Every structure is written in C-alpha cells, then in structure tokens.
Amino acid sequence: MAGVLRTNHVDEFGVRQPDGTTHIIFPDLPTNYRVRSELTVPIYTGGRVDALVQAAEADGRAAAADVDTTDADVRLVVSQAYWRLVTARRRVDVLQRALDRADAVVRDAQSRIDAGVAPPNEVLSAQAQRARQNVQLIQARHDAAIAEVTLDRLLGLPADQAIEPTTSVDVPIEGAAALVDVDARTLVSRALEHRPERRALVERAGALRAGAEAAAAAVRPTVAGVAAVEPARPNSRFVPRTNQWQTSWDLGVNVTWPLWDGGRSRAEQAAAAAQAQAVDESVREFDAAVSIEVRERLLDVTAARAALAAAGEAVAAAAEARRVVQERLRAGVATSTDVLDADVAWLEAELEQTQLTAALRLDEARLIRSVGDRR
C-alpha cells in the first residue's frame, strides 16, 4: 500500500547546542509519504483455510458436472431432432410411394371405364383416395421442413442450410443393443456412477459440509506470520525525524482468538449443515428416480422392438394382400374399391412401421442418456 498524509503544522522541537545552534529533534513536516509492502502467512487457522479450499474444489467439480449434464442434454435433444427429421423424410418416401400406387390405380380404373367393364364412379373413388394421400404427402413434407429447420437451429447452422442424414432410421444407435442385454440392476448401478447430475449433487453436499467446518473454525485461534518493509518520508521509527526517505522493516507473529461472536459462527455452521442434509435427500431422491427411469427405458426399448417386429409382419401381410387383390381385379373378381382398401391398409402399415422404428431410435437414445453413457 502507498499513501500521502497531510497534517497540521507544529512547533519544531530542538535542543540548544553549546555552540549556540539548535539541534532539531522533532521538525515541522506536515507532508508525510508512506509505502508499505506486507506479507502475511497463515501458520495455524484451526482448519478454516483447508475447509474453504475443500469447499471451493468441490464447487469446481460440481460446476464441471453441470457442464457434463448440459452436454448430455444437448446430445439427447440433437439426437431427438435428428431422428424426427429422418422419420419425417421416411414418411415422405412412404407417402410418395403410396401416391404413385394411387396414380396407377387411377389409370387402371380409367382404362377399365374406357373398356366399358367398370362404372364411372370407380375412377372418382380412386381420384378421391389419391387426393387424400396427396394431402398427407404435403403435410409430411411440411413436417420434414420444420424438422430440418429445428435441427439447423440446434446445430447452429443457417436456417436455410440443407441437411442430408447419413444414418438411416433402420440402423440401431451404437451401444444401445448392448445395454438392452444387460441386467437392470447393473444398468442402475452404472447410471448412479456415471450420471453427472448425481455427481454434481454429491460434490455440492461435500462443499456445504466443508463450508460448515470452515464456519465452525471461525471461533478457533489463528496464528499468522507477518513480514513487512516500509519506506517512508519521514519515517517515525528514526529519531530525529528528517524529510528524507528511510526504510524500516518488521517481522512478527500475530495470534487472534475470537472468544465471542454472538453465535454467528454456530448459525452459519448449522445453516450449511442443514443445506448439506437437504442435498443428501435430493441425492437419495435422484437415486430412486434413476432406478425407475432406467427400468422404464429398458421396458420402452423392449416393447418398441416387439411392436416393430409385429409391424414388419403387418407390412408384409398388407403388401401380399394388395398383390392378391390386384390379381383378383385383373381376373375380374374384385373391384377397384377393394384395391383402394388394400392400398390404404398397406399405407397405414408402412406409416406405423416408420413411426415405431423412429420411436425405437428415440427410446434407445433416452436409454443411453439414462445410463449416463457418453455416446
């Protein structure tokens, strides 16, 4: 530190010398300059410094765990947006194929009418069915465009940036299959070990306990070593005082013992301990929620797999039924209405298969997030 101090004038004090002169012992120096460099080293703090360091380190680890939590959430959100885009594109493909089939039915119905073997209402029914499928296709393209814009935003890309997915919805997420084959208790244990949210809670509880220890140490004696160098003009440690820069130093040990603080340290200790206990309860609640969450995600993936297998059988059956009805129509024992009904059943089966496939990918992503794997 450095400073300038201006004082009032004083009468100079001196001693008369034998030769008739006066030796000034205390001169009138109203302007005082002072520079002091001081170093204080804690020798004993009753554990307060160590507790504060531990609390700060625990807070730092908790903050790092918060960053990991955000990273995991971002990965899950981006994965969900990606699979929505892939699903929307797949739905467009399915509806486009259905529209192509509807065009073929319209042409076939028109040919039958021109040949005089079918009433005019058949082509009208086929055109109505084609129009409904075209409406669904337009809506699906709109949903795909919205999904693409959403993924652009999440990736920090321009809103008009085109995205071409490279992973098909039929490809399982890496590592998800291995998780499904693991026992639920093992996955729960892995989740409790790897989930950054739990790690952040545990570290914050440790920081609060260290803070409570630091508060308790506030009433303990502290010992500190002090070393200082002080240039000053005038320097009051030198007699007589002169209007010159003179340097002094000091070295010592200070002992401080706050005997009474009105209960402040005890209150701070109790508050920190109560907060740590509350965080411990949050950890236990989190553990219970994770146990349920992991099991739910396992059941979701298992059910989605079973439903997808059934949907695949439904698509195959619907395609075969449509082929049979088409053959019957050519043989003259079925109507175009039967073909339209078969087309609708085939379309619904394909859309359901697409939705279930996308749902399975999302369930796999959620399972990975629940377990805490970084993928």
**Which pLDDT tens digit goes with each residue over 118-173?**
677 777 877 888 898 889 889 999 999 999 999 999 999 898 888 988 888 888 88
Q: Helical H runs in the chain? A: 48-114, 121-155, 176-180, 184-194, 196-216, 264-331, 336-371
Winning range, highest mean pLDDT, from 18-22, 183-187, 371-375: 183-187
The 10s digit of each residue's pLDDT in 10-42 is: 988 888 888 888 888 888 899 999 999 999 999
Q: What is the pLDDT of residues 241-296, one digit of tens each?
A: 889 999 999 999 999 998 888 889 999 999 999 999 999 999 999 999 999 999 99
Q: Tokens 């209960």 map to which residue?
A: 263
User: Each residue of 47-79: pLDDT tens digit?
Assistant: 999 999 999 999 999 999 999 999 999 999 998
Do residues 191 and 294 touch, judged by C-beta distance below 8 A? yes
> What is the C-alpha to C-alpha distance for residues 96 and 93, in angstroms, rounded to an integer?
5
- Looking at residues 289-317, what average pLDDT do you find? 92
340 within 8 A of 104, measured Cβ to Cβ: no
Determine the Cα–Cα distance for residues 225 and 229; give it in Å rounded to an integer. 14
Q: Which residues pair with 35 in a beta bridge?
A: 2
> What average pLDDT does the chain have?
89
Residue of 196, 177, 169 whose CA lies nearest to 362: 169
Note the pLDDT tens digit of each residue in 220-235.
Answer: 999 999 999 999 999 9
- Higher pLDDT residue, 97 or 303? 303
Q: φ and ψ at 259, to 5 degrees?
A: -80, -25
Contact 236, 109 (CB under 8 A): no
Distance, CA of 53 to CA of 207 (rounded, Å): 9
Q: How far apart are CA 237 and CA 241, in angstroms?
A: 8
| Residue 267 neighbours by CB under 8 Å, 6+ apart | none
Residue 117 has pLDDT above 70, yes or no: no
Measure CA of the first residue to CA of the last residue in the chain; give whole Å.
54
Q: Does residue 375 register a pLDDT over 70?
A: no
What's the pLDDT score for residue 209?
95
pLDDT value at residue 255: 94
pLDDT above 70: percentage of residues in the chain:
98
pLDDT at 374 over 70: no
pLDDT of residue 99: 85
Write the pLDDT tens digit of every residue in 313-367. 999 999 999 889 888 877 777 776 777 778 788 888 888 888 899 889 899 989 9
